[in-house]
Structure 1
Amino acid sequence: MTKTAVPKVRSRKDGAAVPLDEFDKRLLNTMQGRFPIEVRPYAAVAEELGAPEDRVIARVGELVQQRIIRQVTPIFDTRAFGYASMLVAAKVDAEHPWRAAKVVNEHPGVSHNYLRNHEFNMWFTIAVEPDSKLGLEGTLDVLQRETGAESVRMLPTLKLFKIRMDLEMEAGTDALASASAEAVEPAETEPQPYDEHDKAVVRATQGDLPIEREPYARAAAELGMTQEQVVDHLRGMVDRRLLRRVAAILFHRRAGFSANGMGVWKVPEDRVLELGGKMAAFRGISHCYQRPTYADWPYQLFTMAHGRSKEECDAILDAIEQQLGCVEARATLYSSTEFKKIRLLYFTEDFKRWEREHGGV
């Protein structure tokens, strides 16, 4: 059965932070960063937290119902599967941005779409399948035409230093604004080998995992495999860089992180790799990339800072600038509206259907 990704748009009504106790914060840190790939992963989480397994499962379920946890899901690597993807900045009608957002959001490869405080006011990430007939550029031509965007800037990843969206629930601003001792090396972004069995496992496990003792039981039944075989296969996909991890994804604002600032940096060209690696080492940075520049966009490095307030994001980015120096220019773009945020679903018919309906191919 084909799963459909449903865009979850932030609502003003339920966007406020929910009070969390110390157990919740420890639980959320563990679910984001150390959720194991095991037949009974919640038992391992419970052991780490010194709590009963049933309590952990029940509380995770409540946090999903309260819209603090968005989903518990495998996080597959888009590029490793050969999907072409990039960040896109567009200038759309500032008076009616939702009109353009609705058009962009209909593409199944758009996973994130935000309104930001800049002349380029719409920022979205988009991916197309390896066998896409339109390709990325053709797809963006269609979207520019249908949205009426005045200008579109393609910002593909040239170097990937970090992509790990887990919010630090326990520590404060000082921890978020500090860096590890080691700079981060650019990550592998080339497509990796995979086969039809890998695709079947992806289809069976992607999306929301059931919040239960054995969350892979249903996928195993669908695949005609034992749970142990499914878990072993997923672990192997981690080793082959097809799967980054299995983790809880949070609703940022409900979890207390009300701000995200995209810090963009112009640095000396001969220091891009060095400084990108150092920026990625900061705890409060979830994403760090090198991207192309344009005459009206001189910034080579992109960093996403997440904080409990705009001031905390500023503190993270200020700490980077103060500790690293050599910054020729910096800008910070804050999101004011979340138009779309989902995890991509791979190997479905949705991509081809969109290309037929919008591109005539």
Structure 2
Amino acid sequence: MEKDFLNLIQKEFPIEERPFEILAKKLNSDEDKLIEIYKKLKDEKIIRQTSAIFDTKSLGYKSSLVAFMVDDIENAANFINTHPGVSHNYERDNEFNLWFTIAVEPDSKLGLEKTVELMAKKVNAKDFIVLPTIKMFKIKVQLDVKGDRAKKEKLEKKKKIELKLEPLHFELIKRLQEDIEPVKKPFEKIVRDLNIDYETLKKEAQNLQNAGILRRFASILYHRRAGFNANAMVVWSVDEKNALEIGEKVASFTAVSHCYLRPTYPKWPYPLFSMIHGKTKEEVENVVKDIKKEINPKDYKYLYSTREFKKQRIKYFSDEFKEWEKKYA
């Protein structure tokens, strides 16, 4: 039951008046039992958070993956973590040893490049590379806790609708970022505070999703607690003329949660990035072998994370962005 539940809520947690009741019907269970299971999995730190996953670019934010080469990694990580747009920050086993994702708000005075340059200067980085997304093939963190999914999957391609953001949408974006409580009506406060009904909440959330602003509302797990003790960022050196076709092939593997095309540098000839999750290192490396057979890369490299310094959702449209720039710029 728990594994079925985890697979289900990683895919989508319903934005409804009584979501646990809807999930219970799908699992032939009952609402109270599922709420207890959810609370237990939260207490055991298997479920990290259940909230909206927004598309940074669609909200007007500029973002990038960045890699620093630093000596004092702990102090460097601590400073980088002060930025509210840093959502992930890891030590990885490479000469570029500190890897983080950063986003800056639409009206940032510094902008993305200047922010990264300021950070590099503050932490005495010996070198750094900025790796924005050229093409996103896949972003879908759904750990197969049951182990019954096929090795490969068909990628979803949805048409986006045009949506002019109204004040209500901005309020929903702010509030749907918050983690839900294990109660029968977890969205009750949003409905009450915004003076709307559940039908409006559901409709406008769906509009945000149809516009590609809201990717999905779902649960994210603590990987290791869920049994996925190995994950690797695997970067691939491939023929850039065929990179789009190759990226689609890599992204089709179920164990690949993220797949992006990024720029190359003379010191970094790897345009294709993939994040691969497995229960063991051997499992991850078997997936890599399968991918290698299919795409025949020039070269590839494992970037295992050795320490997690930060992993949290960005709070969009927060005053913290302006406060950070005021303090450090």
Alignment-mate amino acid for residue 52 of structure 2: P
Show the 5 A alignment for 1:72-87.
72-87=50-65
Aligned residue in 2 for 1:4: none
Q: AA paired with 1:275?
A: I
Matched with 2:319 is 349
Q: 1:314 aligned to 2:290?
A: no
Name 1:34's counterpart in structure 2.
Answer: 12
Render the CA deviation track for 1:171-220: whole Å, top value 9, x for unaligned: 16xx57x223x4676x899x974232211111222121222212111111
| Partner Cα separation in structure 2 for residue 37 and residue 328 of structure 1 | 45
Identify the residue that residue 234 of structure 2 maps to in structure 1. Answer: 263
Partner of 2:102: 126
Code of the residue aligned with 1:105 in structure 2: it is: N
- Give 1:334's aligned amino acid: Y
1:240 Cα deviation (Å)? Answer: 1.1
Partners of 1:266 and 1:327 within 8 A in 2:
yes
Q: 1:98 aligns with which of 54, 60, 74?
A: 74
Matches within 5 A, 1:238-253: 238-253=209-224
Q: Give distance in 2, aligned partners of 1:194 and 1:69.
A: 31
Partner of 1:339: 309
In the alignment, structure 1 residue 305 sits paired with structure 2 residue 305: no
Residue number in structure 2 paired with 1:159: 135
Contact 2:249 2:295 in 1 (8 A): no
What runs of 5+ residues in structure 1 fail to find an aligned partner? 1-22
Name the amino acid aligned to 2:245: E
Q: Map 1:120-269 onto structure 2 (within 5 A).
A: 120-171=96-147, 175=149, 178-180=151-153, 182=154, 193-269=164-240
- Counterparts of 2:309 and 2:222, CA distance in 1: 14
Provide the identity percentage.
Answer: 41
User: Normalising to structure 1: TM-score of the pair?
Assistant: 0.87
Please tell me whether residue 57 in structure 1 is matched to residue 35 in structure 2: yes
Aligned pair count?
329
Q: 1:184 to 1:295 in 2, by over 3 A?
A: farther
The verdict on how the C-alpha distance between 1:184 and 1:340 changes in structure 2, with shifts beyond 3 A counting, is same
- Unaligned stretches of 5+ residues in structure 2: none
Matched position secondary structure for 1:54: helix
How big is each residue's C-alpha offset from its partner over 1:208-261, in whole Å with a ceiling of 9 and x where there is no partner?
122221211111111111122112111111111110111111111111111110
Distance 1:192-1:303 versus aligned 2 partners, 3 A rule: farther
Describe the superposition over 1:288-329 as per-residue Cα deviations: whole angstroms up to 9, x where unpaired.
00000000110110000011121111111111111x133111
Q: Secondary structure at the match of 2:250?
A: helix
**Matched AA of 1:98:** E
**Contact 1:80 1:192 (C-alpha < 8 Å) held by counterparts:** no
- 1:2-41 to 2 correspondence within 5 Å? 23-41=1-19
Query: What does the per-residue CA deviation read over 1:243-284, in whole Å, with 9 as the maximum and x for residues that have no partner?
Result: 011111111111111111011111112210101011111100
Moved more, 66-75 or 204-213: 204-213
> Is structure 2 residue 260 aligned with structure 1 residue 282?
no
For 1:192 and 1:300, the matched residues in 2 are separated by 32
CA contact (8 A) 2:163 2:207 kept: no
Report if the CA contact (8 A) 1:184-1:280 is conserved. Answer: no
Give the distance between the partners of 1:124 and 1:218, measured in 2 at CA: 34
Q: Is the 8 A contact 2:163 2:208 kept in 1?
A: no
1:66 aligns with 2:44: yes
Shift of 1:165: 0.8
TM-score by length of 2: 0.96
